[in-house]
Amino acid sequence: MKKTLGIIGGLGPMASAQFMELLTAMTDAATDQEHMEAILYSRPATPDRTAFLLGKSDENPLPFMRETGLRLEQMGAEVLAIPCMTAHSFFPQLQAAFHAELLNPITGSAELLRSQGVRRAGIMATDGTLQVGLFQEALSAAGIEPVVPDGTHQREVMRMIYEQVKSGKPADLECFHAVAHAMRVRGAEYIILGCTELSVIREQQEIGAGFLDAMAVLAASAIEACGYSVKVSPLAL
């Protein structure tokens, strides 16, 4: 049975737009009518997730995301997706508030890498996501050793996310690859793009192989959860 997807969006706006593109590109469909029904509710006013998690802001994004999800349910959404990895720090509280299934791209990414026999994976994500340990815990549970950037390289990741992509500027690819290389030297076989702004970099600029885009994992999960077939594996992007 086909289901309607609800997207808790605007976190940030460009990532939500790209998520819609991924859903279209990754669905095995020959006509317009064979694509899924999806409702995007873009709420860019939702407080910054990383700032709250790091104690730099007392504006809690949870009530905003919960309200957005509940409104999507009222509009008929039976499956929910959030194209923002840091937002999944609030996954248990959000899933408890919804009747609809809330997809989890964090565990999905770890399970996909495990299926490929990966033993060690690097993580590029926000400070908030790394501090909460979302990807580290999921990878460890899947028997994969997580590798995170050192302090200097993590500051560069945050600069690319906030000062470049979120500001509508192209990312510094030399910096991007320096971060990835430093983790590969430490044994990372794949690098997880664990922030949707990093997914935007993958979409807009050529980054090469050896990366797993967590937002593409989310798109594939949404396609399957709504009763459709995936045309392109996230590992093939």
Catalytic site positions: 84, 195
- What's the rounded Cα separation, in Å, for the pair 138 and 125? 14
Query: Which residues contact residue 163 at a Cβ distance below 8 angstroms, ignoring those fewer than 6 apart?
Result: 169
Nearest CA-CA partner of 54 in 142, 136, 144, 126: 126
**201, 177 contact by CB (below 8 A):** no
Residue 129 token pair = 């996501």
**17, 10 contact by CB (below 8 A):** no
**Cα dist. 57→51, 54, 61, 148, 205 in Å?**
5, 8, 10, 24, 32
- Length of the chain in terms of residues written: 237
Query: Which residues contact residue 61 at a Cβ distance below 8 angstroms, ignoring those fewer than 6 apart?
Result: 11, 46, 47, 48, 49, 52, 87, 90
**121, 190 contact by CB (below 8 A):** yes
